[in-house]
């Protein structure tokens, strides 16, 4: 183990020197005093080794130092290394409170004593569980990686080497033996798991270590499955045992609430992940883009007399309403609010006849919805002027009675001889008739 450790440190140093300053490499010494001492160090994102009993040769310059130990919050420091000088870094990690309960299984890792070990992810800040020397012994002194029953992606990485991963299925009360860089070696009974109760996340010993990983759980929901355009929904979530929590790919807290106002039907994806598993859940909020609108004009008709005055009606008023709309306009009025009313000015017509003014409402929203409504106003001009009838010709004047008699007198006198003649003839005729009747008898 010591030979491999020395070779590892030498290779890391050579690689760092070569990569950072290939021409004239200058280095300094980095000593990290960490609590707990088993904390693992990453330099500029590369896994190096646990801090206990080690010091490191690091190229001159400023470097990012990350310290990880399962059951503790990660710590990050920036250090400046000077040539041929020793830089000492003292870091105390903060423990995560609480204990973990079963059921459990166990993983034994062989063949990677200095390698960083990660479960279910590649980001050490979220998925680091320890180094190989903490999980490679089950004989007398227990060095165990204790996990909930389930399937895991196990990754080991060392220095600048390519990380190696394998899938491990861990049954309850079973111990799975993994040979690093080869695969699962064996699965055997692990009766000890049935005896374990509440355990801390990290328990070191003189020659033993227990790393106990809790199961990841969660809850995610939307307050409603359907909203109208412009309305909102509340997303709520909670998680346990997770080191990385995301909503639609964006980091969020372990639990929380978020108000959303989608403009189209949207699915929200929640993920809570950690070394103890991955919890996922989806919620879909359907968006109804429909706009509801109304438009009317009252009164619908206006009449005018010859004097240009409205007859028997009030001032025409346009009234409208548009629900779930972001933009509303009325032709020919212009842009208006979502609801309201407005009196309109009417120009009296100059002559008879009916004019029609049409008002058109256009309502749209950001969800793609739209609606159109129309209303009309009838404007009636004054009735046509009636022409007066021509007066009848005057009757002839009547003469006074005296004047009439006077005028008639000559007319009567002119007829008198004829009357006398007719009377004379009548007398003669009568005499003849009497004479004849007498002699005949």
Q: pLDDT tens digits for 419-438?
A: 455 555 666 566 655 654 55
* E strands, 311-413, in order: 317-323, 327-331, 334-336, 339-343, 354-364, 370-380
Which residues have CB under 8 Å from 296's CB, separation 6+?
318, 319, 320, 375
Residue 417 lies in a domain: no
Instruction: Tell whether 401 is covered by a domain.
Output: no
Domain containing 336 — which CATH number? 2.60.40
Q: Is residue 41 assigned to a domain?
A: yes
Kindly tell me if the per-residue pLDDT of 43 is higher than 90.
yes
Q: Which two tokens stand for residue 138?
A: 């089950």
CA distance 441 to 438: 5
pLDDT band of residue 166 (cuts 50, 70, 90) is: very high
Where b means 16+ CB within 10 Å and e means fewer, 163-185 reads ebebebebeebbbbbbebeeeee
2 pLDDT tier (thresholds 50, 70, 90):
very low
Q: Is the pLDDT of residue 388 over 70?
A: no
The answer to whether residue 229 scores a pLDDT higher than 60 is: yes
Both tokens of 71, joined, read 């059951």
Residues 172 and 226 grouped into a single domain: no
Global confidence as pTM:
0.71
Q: What is the 8-class DSSP label of residue 304?
A: B
Record the tokens describing residue 357, joined without a space.
């003014």
185 and 224 assigned to the same domain: no
pLDDT at 20: 47
Where is pLDDT greater, at 392 or 439? 392
Q: Domain range for residue 138?
A: 99-212
Q: Which residues have CB under 8 Å from 150's CB, separation 6+?
A: 169, 170, 215, 276, 277
Q: Give residue-wise pLDDT tens across range 127-142.
A: 999 999 999 988 878 8
pLDDT digits (tens, 9 = 90+) for 88-122: 999 999 999 999 999 999 999 999 998 999 999 99
| Residue 430: per-residue pLDDT | 64
- Which residue from 52, 38, 181, 201 is spatially nearest to 110, judged by alpha carbons? 181
The string of DSSP letters for 208-273 reads: -EEEEPPPPEEEEEES-SEEETT--EEEEEEEES-SEEEETTEE--SSEEEEE--SS-EEEEEEEE
User: Hey, is 77 helix, strand or coil?
Assistant: strand
SS3 of 433, please?
A: helix
Is 424 inside any structural domain? Answer: no
CB 283 within 8 A of CB 260: no
Q: How high does pLDDT run on average in the chain?
A: 85
Which of 292, 347, 304, 338 has its CA nearest to residue 319? 338
Q: What is the pLDDT of residue 425?
A: 64
The pLDDT of residue 399: 52
Asked if residue 408 has pLDDT above 50, the reply is no
275 assigned to some structural domain: yes
Residue ending a domain, among 380, 406, 433, is 380
* Lookup: tokens for 225: 């499955």
Is residue 106 located within the same domain as residue 202? yes
> How confident is the model at residue 431, as a pLDDT?
60
201 and 239 assigned to the same domain: no
Report the pLDDT value the prediction gives residue 75, as an integer from 0 to 100.
Answer: 97
Domain boundary among 49, 66, 92: 92
Provide the pLDDT for residue 212.
97
Please, which residues have CB within 8 angstroms of residue 8's CB and are 6 or more apart in sequence?
A: 49, 114, 158, 159
| pLDDT-derived band at 406, boundaries 50, 70, 90 | very low
Question: What distance lies between CA 264 and its chain's CA centroid?
Answer: 6
pLDDT digits (tens, 9 = 90+) for 339-357: 999 998 888 887 888 889 9
Lowest mean pLDDT among 95-99, 314-318, 326-330, 366-370: 314-318
Within this chain, do residues 123 and 153 fall inside the same structural domain, yes or no?
yes
Closest CA to 134 of 216, 71, 198, 209: 209
Q: What per-residue confidence (pLDDT) applies to 412?
A: 43
Whether residues 153 and 239 share a domain: the answer is no
Is residue 400 scored above 60 in pLDDT?
no
- The pLDDT of residue 23 is 41
For residues 264-268, average pLDDT: 97
Mean pLDDT of 406-414: 43
**Rounded Cα–Cα distance for residues 144 and 85 (Å):** 38
Mean pLDDT confidence for 390-400: 62
pLDDT score at 439: 53
Q: Is the pLDDT of residue 194 over 60?
A: yes
- Residues 43, 47, 50, 54: is their CA dihedral positive or negative? negative
Is residue 76 located within the same domain as residue 169? no
Q: Domain tally for the chain?
A: 4
Question: Which comes out higher in pLDDT, residue 384 or 367?
Answer: 367
Last residue of a domain, one of 35, 59, 92: 92
* Dihedral sign (CA 182, 187, 190, 194): positive
pLDDT of res. 186: 92
Residue 418: predicted pLDDT: 52
Grade residue 222 by pLDDT with cuts at 50, 70 and 90. Answer: very high
Q: Is the pLDDT of residue 441 over 80?
A: no
Same-domain check for residues 261 and 156: no
């Amino acid at each position: 183990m010591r030979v491999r450790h020395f070779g590892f440190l030498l290779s890391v140093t050579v690689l760092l020197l070569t990569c950072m300053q290939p021409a004239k490499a200058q280095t300094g010494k980095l000593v990290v005093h960490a609590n707990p001492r088993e904390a693992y160090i990453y330099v500029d994102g590369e896994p190096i080794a646990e801090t206990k009993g080690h010091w490191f040769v690091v190229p001159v310059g400023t470097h990012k130092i990350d310290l990880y130990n399962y059951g503790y919050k990660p710590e990050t420091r920036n250090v400046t290394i000077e040539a041929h000088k020793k830089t000492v870094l003292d870091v105390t990690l903060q423990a995560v409170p609480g204990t973990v309960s079963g059921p459990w299984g166990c993983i034994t890792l062989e063949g990677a004593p200095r390698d960083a070990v990660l479960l279910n992810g590649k980001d050490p800040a979220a998925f680091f569980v320890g180094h190989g020397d903490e999980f490679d012994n089950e004989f007398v002194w227990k060095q165990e990686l204790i996990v909930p029953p389930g399937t895991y992606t196990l990754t080991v990485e060392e220095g600048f080497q390519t990380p190696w991963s394998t899938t491990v299925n861990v049954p309850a009360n079973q111990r799975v033996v993994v040979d690093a860089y080869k695969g699962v070696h064996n699965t055997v009974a692990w009766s000890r798991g049935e005896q374990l109760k509440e355990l801390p996340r990290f328990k070191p010993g003189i020659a033993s270590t227990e790393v106990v990983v809790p199961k990841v759980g969660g809850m995610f929901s939307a307050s409603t499955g359907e909203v109208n355009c412009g309305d909102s929904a509340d997303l709520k979530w909670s998680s346990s045992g997770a080191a990385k929590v995301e909503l639609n790919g964006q980091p969020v807290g372990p639990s929380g609430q978020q108000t959303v106002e989608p403009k189209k039907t949207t699915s929200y994806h929640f993920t809570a992940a950690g070394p103890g598993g991955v919890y996922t859940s989806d919620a879909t909020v359907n968006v109804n883009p429909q706009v509801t609108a109304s438009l009317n004009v009252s009164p619908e008709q206006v009449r005018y007399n010859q004097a240009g005055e409205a007859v028997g009606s009030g001032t025409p008023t346009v009234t409208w309403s548009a629900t779930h709309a972001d933009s509303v306009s009325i032709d020919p009025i212009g842009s208006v609010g979502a609801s309201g009313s407005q009196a309109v000015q009417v120009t009296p017509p100059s002559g008879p006849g009916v004019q029609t003014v049409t008002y058109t409402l256009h309502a749209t929203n950001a969800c793609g919805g739209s609606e159109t409504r129309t209303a009309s106003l009838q404007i009636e001009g004054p009735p046509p002027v009636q022409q007066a009838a021509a007066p009848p010709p005057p009757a002839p004047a009547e003469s006074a009675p005296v004047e009439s008699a006077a005028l008639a007198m000559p007319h009567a006198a002119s007829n008198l001889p004829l009357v006398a003649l007719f009377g004379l003839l009548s007398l003669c005729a009568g005499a003849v008739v009497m004479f004849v009747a007498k002699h005949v008898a």
